[in-house]
Amino acid sequence: MTYSICVHEADGSERAGRHRFGVAVTTRYPSVGSLCPHVGDHAAVATQSVTDASLGRRGVDYVADGLAVDDALEALLNADDDAELRQVHGVDRDGDFAFTGTECPDWSGHERGTHPSRDARYTVAGNSITGADVLAAVAAAYEAADWDDPLSKRLVDALGAGAAAGGDRRTDLPVGSAAVRVTSTESRSRPYDDLRVDAAESPIADLRETYRLAKRGYEAAIEKYA
């Protein structure tokens, strides 16, 4: 019932490098941000379809404890009797993982890729969407985005590209939701890096407006109190 993108970006050497992780997700169902996106300093994971939030939460924790993201998520799915109902994907600092169970609702699938000119990798996955074009549009929008923009903005824009390509096929459902979460080792956290629209008729547009206002409010406060 969802499509999402997970991203890892790195700048600088491994010793002094800066890392960003992010997830953006949308669905035609309320409160997707409470269950699907999971982000830490070492991994980003999205869990969807018949969602088990513990897969994302434990996956991020396992990577922080030293497991690779593919080993962590494979182990969790191998222990899950309902694995074929799940869709789970994510990235860590060195690799990626994507799984779409055979019982996920049509159309369902995933993509994995690397940014053509940056030290970055991503995974994209969706189910109950109109087709593969949705995932291709999300990936293309992420790759083509202006790197000078914050990752949270680029991820929200990637969701918008997926919607323009068809998005969620359940147009009869009137209420949806969207969320973006980003962590970074390069700077203090910013309020526009963790945003949710839990119930809206146009969740991506509302998330984009929420991002705009949060960034504007943050910058105004910094200017006033610097």
Say if CB 183 and CB 40 are below 8 A apart: yes
- pTM of the entire structure? 0.95
CA gap 198, 170 in Å, rounded: 17
Give the chain's domains with CATH numbers.
2-225 (3.60.20.10)
Question: What is the tens place of the pLDDT at every residue in 89-106?
Answer: 999 999 999 999 999 999
pLDDT at 188 over 80: no
Segment among 73-82, 131-140, 166-175, 186-195 with least mean pLDDT: 186-195
> Looking at residue 15, what is its pLDDT?
47
Tell me the three state secondary structure of residue 226. coil
The pLDDT confidence band at residue 165, using thresholds 50, 70 and 90, is very high
